[in-house]
Chain A
Amino acid sequence: AQTVTQSQPEMSVQEAETVTLSCTYDTSESDYYLFWYKQPPSRQMILVIRQEAYKQQNATENRFSVNFQKAAKSFSLKISDSQLGDAAMYFCAYRSTGNTPLVFGKGTRLSVIA
């Protein structure tokens, strides 16, 4: 079974600075999807960024980018120019191909300091 590990329970960053959240995963599959979700205090799950494993190019979405290292099974999220609204719980997630559910890591709580 696939597993997702987030080794940082909590992180903090100064407003306007950059922070990187770590995620590693374990799988024997060659094709899969990786995601970062944000869960603010409202608890609504918001998709931040998605990466297809077959793509070598790292995904980017405005201030959010990933460092996808397939051989190392690492998928970190970089948040640039951090804003107060970025404060939330961040979950790394894995999904196999086909109609399969997401497997989540335990999450990293990000605080943004003004």
Chain B
Amino acid sequence: GAVVSQHPSWVICKSGTSVKIECRSLDFQATTMFWYRQFPKQSLMLMATSNEGSKATYEQGVEKDKFLINHASLTLSTLTVTSAHPEDSSFYICSARGPSTEAFFGQGTRLTVV
């Protein structure tokens, strides 16, 4: 299957700082990438959808100025959590889709804001 690499796997940052999470499709062109957030013992909640070269579409309730998504190439999308606060601590997962109907997931990033 296709490989999606998400980096870093875990990160700890101080409150008020920004952190960037990268999502790369290693062996296919990801025309669309999805970013999810998962709280402990809960399901995946879609945050935003990004198409290469276009602005991301955010789900209702997700602050676009806080969660900056960039999808500048067919193999890379980034999620930047700006001015992070402890309540932003969560597990973030990216998913990339190319020509097939399957969505391939990254390994996820555990963000802890202290």
Contact = CB atoms under 8 A, between A and B. Distances in A.
Interface stretch (B13-21, B40-48, B72-80, B81-89): B40-48
Given A99-B51, A101-B34, A106-B42, A44 B103 contact: no
Interface string B47-82: 001010000000000000000000000000000000
Given A99-B31, A99-B32, A43 B91 contact: yes
Interface residues of B, number: 22
Contacts of B43: 91, 104-107
A33 B108 contact: no
B107 interface: yes
Contacts of A47: 1, 102, 104
A91 B101 contact: no
B95 interface: yes
Interface residues of A, number: 17
B102 A91 contact: no
Contacts of B108: 43-45
Nearest to B105: A45
Interface of A: 33, 42-45, 47, 50, 91, 95, 99, 101-107
